[in-house]
Amino acid sequence: MKLLSKSLIIAAVFITQACSLTGQKPQSMINQLVIAEPLPINYKSEVALARLTEVIQRAEVTDEQRAQLFYDRGVIYDSVGLRSLARLDFNRALNLKPDMVDAYNFLGIHYTQLQEFDEAYEAFDSALELEPEHEYAYLNRGIALYYGERSLLAVDDLELFYQHKTSDPYRLLWLYLIEQDVDSVNALTNLQQRAKNISDDVWAKNIVNLYSGKIDQTKFLRDITLNVRSNKEFSERLCEAYFYLGKLSLLNGDKRAAANFYKLALSTNVYEFVEHRYAKLELDLLRQDVMEEPEQ
C-alpha cells in the first residue's frame, strides 16, 4: 500500500458486536471501514463567487453575457453544496437565454434531488430538444425516471448513455442498477458480460467486481486505499464506494446498513459527484419508507 501524505487523515473504524460478560473478544461485522477528512470548500471557489457577483452587479454586459455569468456562478454554488442559490442562478440564466442547454440539465438534476420528477423530465426534455446528442442529459433523465419509478423507460436512456463509452465502469453500474429494478437475473448476467470491457487498472472495476460477486465486501474495503495520492482523491473514492455499498445493501434488504453507507458518502463533502447528490435522495426515500410502514 502506498503511503499517504501527513495531511491525509485516515481513521479505521471497526464495527463490532458487543462483548459478552465472559470477556469474549468482539467479532467484526464489517471488517474495516476507512474514513477521509471531509473536503473543505476550496478558497478559489469563494474568490470566484465574490468576483462573479461583483461583475454581475456592476458590469454593463449583454443579456447573453449576463446569462453566462449567472450560469457560471450557479455551477460554483452547486459545487460547494449551495443548491438553492444554484437553482436561482440557473433560472436567471434561462430567463435571459432560454436555449442554455447545460442550465436545463443542471435544473433537471436539482428537481430530481427534490423528487419533483415532472419538472425534472421537462428540464431534461428541453435540453435534449436543443441538443439531441447531449449524452449526460440522457444519463440524468434516466436517473430521474429510475427514482420516479419508471425504470422501463430509464433503461433506454441508460443504454444509450452506456453505449457512448462501454469501458466506463460508472455507466455500467448505473445501467445495472436500473436493469436490476426491471429484471434482476438478466441484469446480473448483463453486468458480468459487460464487465469484460473494463480495464482491471481502473479502480472502479472493484465496484463492478463487488456487484458481480467476484470479490466480497471485506476485500473491497481492504483495497479501497490502494494507490491513493491525496485526501481529495481519497474522499472522492470513498464517496463513490460508500454510495454503491449503500445501493448493494439496499438490494440485499439491509436498510440500516444502506442508510449508514449513504451517510458516510455524504460525509465526504464531494458535492459535485453524482453519488453524493443521490445519497441524500436515497436517505430521504428510506425515511419515507419508514414513515409509510404500518405499525406492528
For residue range 43-61, list pLDDT tens digits in order. Answer: 888 899 999 999 999 888 9
The H-or-E segment that residue 179 falls in is helix 169-182
- Kindly report the three-state secondary structure assignment for every residue of 20-82: CCCCCCCCEEEEEEEEECCCCCCHHHHHHHHHHHHHHHHCCCCHHHHHHHHHHHHHHHHHCCC
Length of the chain: 296
Q: What is the pTM of this model?
A: 0.85
Amino acid symbol at 20:
S
What integer is the mean pLDDT of 267-295? 87
* More confident position, 7 or 227: 227
Q: What is the mean pLDDT of the chain?
A: 87
For cell 465574490, the residue is: 50
Residues 6+ apart with CB under 8 A from 144: 108, 111, 112, 117, 120, 121, 124, 154
For residue range 198-224, list pLDDT tens digits in order. Answer: 999 999 999 999 999 999 998 998 899
Residue 33's pLDDT is what? 65
Residues 6+ apart with CB under 8 A from 235: 36, 37, 38, 39, 268, 269, 270
Q: What are the cell numbers at 210?
A: 463487488
What integer is the mean pLDDT of 146-151? 96
Side-chain half-sphere of 139: how many Cα atoms within 13 Å?
A: 18
Confidence of residue 17 (pLDDT cuts 50, 70, 90): very low
User: DSSP letter at 280?
Assistant: H
Residue 1's pLDDT is what? 35
Domain ranges of the chain: 1-36+224-296, 165-216
Q: What would the DSSP string read from start to end of 88-115? A: HHHHHHHHH-TT-HHHHHHHHHHHHHTT
Q: Which residues pair with 34 in a beta bridge?
A: 12
